[in-house]
Amino acid sequence: MLGIPIAFAVFGYGEWALHKYLLHGLGRDRQSRFSFHFHDHHQAVRRNGGYDPAYEGPVWSTPTQAREAIGLTVIGLAHAPLFPLAPFYTSTVWYCLYRYRRDHRHAHLDPAWARDHLPWHYDHHMGDQDKNFGVSWSWFDVLAGTREVFVGSERERTGLAKHVARALTASAGAALRAQRRNPLRRLFARAAARPPG
């Protein structure tokens, strides 16, 4: 049972450190292989008021989702040999990985939900992108002194209407982007639209 709090502590620190040092630190360099995270994901989220179209569709439909899923899978598989020795620890790490994937995707498909349920992650994207590195939880940011509240601040209030409008506009194009990602669906839609005869 001691494995449960240890896993939460390890995951909280690991998520924070990976995000801060690996994805952000190396991601600022456009030549870095991690630049996809900092430049692509962060720019899309900022441009779209918290929404990221890369999280639409199944996990294999965009490079952003696929890279994230591969990384989480590798971490999960790396912990698998520990299961016989530390089943509570390993199960908790797997739960944390599942929760990260579920909540991170949801946050970028519904920015209003993210603002209410993951304000620290919303703060990271819409406020200072060099703060608030936790996605699932904010407790390690608090311990490390990198937690900075943006939601509810004067700065957020001045741009909130603009961000909401951008998120709505971005999400409105989801159906069209889904058709573009699936050429067979588009072909079948054309065939169904033809008049009989």
What does the pLDDT look like over 153-179, one tens digit per residue?
Answer: 999 999 999 999 999 888 887 777 777
Q: So what's the pLDDT on residue 63?
A: 87
Residue 60 pLDDT grade (very low, low, confident, very high; cuts 50, 70, 90):
confident
Alpha-carbon distances, residue 33 vs 26, 113, 142 (angstroms): 8, 30, 29
% pLDDT > 70, the chain: 84
Distance CA 49, CA 191 (A): 36
Q: So what's the pLDDT on residue 197?
A: 59
Q: So what's the pLDDT on residue 35?
A: 47
What does the pLDDT look like over 69-112, one tens digit per residue?
Answer: 999 999 999 999 999 999 999 999 999 999 999 999 999 999 99
Q: So what's the pLDDT on residue 98?
A: 97
Residues whose CB falls within 8 Å of the CB of residue 35, separated by 6 or more in sequence, listed in order: 26, 27, 28, 29
Distance CA 184, CA 94 (A): 35
Q: So what's the pLDDT on residue 58?
A: 86
> Quick one: which of 34, 97, 36, 31 has its CA closest to 64?
36
| Residue reference for tokens 């912990």 | 79
**pLDDT winner (highest mean) among 15-19, 55-59, 91-95, 124-128:** 91-95
Q: So what's the pLDDT on residue 27?
A: 46
Distance CA 194, CA 190 (A): 6
Spell 155-181 as b/e; 16+ CB within 10 A means b: ebeeeeeebeebbeebbeeeeebeeee
